[in-house]
Structure 1
Amino acid sequence: MRELIAAQRMTRRLIAMRRRLELVQARTGTRDWQVKRRERTRQLIELGGLVVKAGLVDLADDDRAMLYGAFLWMADKLRSDDGAHASALWIRKGKRAFDLAAITEAGSKIWDI
């Protein structure tokens, strides 16, 4: 009988511990779908930042159809026989632009001091 009572107490403790754990997980947002959604949101924000950084929003006068058409053209180009060459060219050009931006930013920080 004592063993049964001890087992019931242990079961109640485990249930309470599990409920506390579920509450903590709900508060911290560690659910898998939330983490995936946050990662996707971050990726979309970064990609949107690249569109702005490249000056495409201003050049296209915020015309979404034009931007989408340009992206479709890029996708077609990457799928074509010349895709590997285009990809290598764009990667080189992008890296140079990032490097130049980093140098320019570092130089402006020196003058701010």
Structure 2
Amino acid sequence: MREWQVKRRERTRQLIELGGLVAKADLVDLTDDDRAALYGAFLTVAAKLRGPDGAQALLLFRRKGKRAFEAEQSNDG
């Protein structure tokens, strides 16, 4: 397989996984699949991360996400 094909597959997989996280967070239903609202929300998060408290915000987002993954794993087991 050519290098560009491998990179394309990796990118496709990444985008599918990111889309899965959007669905997992229930954002599709909460916004009634409004792409502009979702994009606006992502831009708001990006602005927060670029701001003076970005490192702290990232830490909080990461903790919350890890807890959610762990809770989901506990519920599946």
TM-score by length of 2: 0.99
Counting only pairs closer than 5 Å after superposition, residues 12-31 of structure 1 correspond to structure 2 as 30-31=1-2
DSSP-derived class of the 1:61 partner: coil
1:45 has 2:16 as partner:
yes
The gaps in structure 2 that reach 5 residues or longer are none
Measure, in 1, the Cα distance between the counterparts of 2:64 and 2:46.
17
Moved over 2 A (4+): none
1:81 has 2:52 as partner:
yes
Give the fraction of aligned pairs with identical amino acids, expressed as a percent: 69
When Rg is computed on C-alpha atoms for both structures, the one with the higher figure is 1
Task: Report what 2:26 is aligned to.
Answer: 55
**Post-superposition offset of 1:41:** 0.2
TM-score by length of 1: 0.68
The gaps in structure 1 that reach 5 residues or longer are 1-29, 107-113
Task: Report what 1:92 is aligned to.
Answer: 63
DSSP-derived class of the 1:36 partner: helix
Measure, in 1, the Cα distance between the counterparts of 2:46 and 2:16.
20
Task: Report what 1:3 is aligned to.
Answer: none
| Greater RCO, CA 8 A, separation 6+ | 2
Measure, in 2, the Cα distance between the counterparts of 1:35 and 1:51.
25
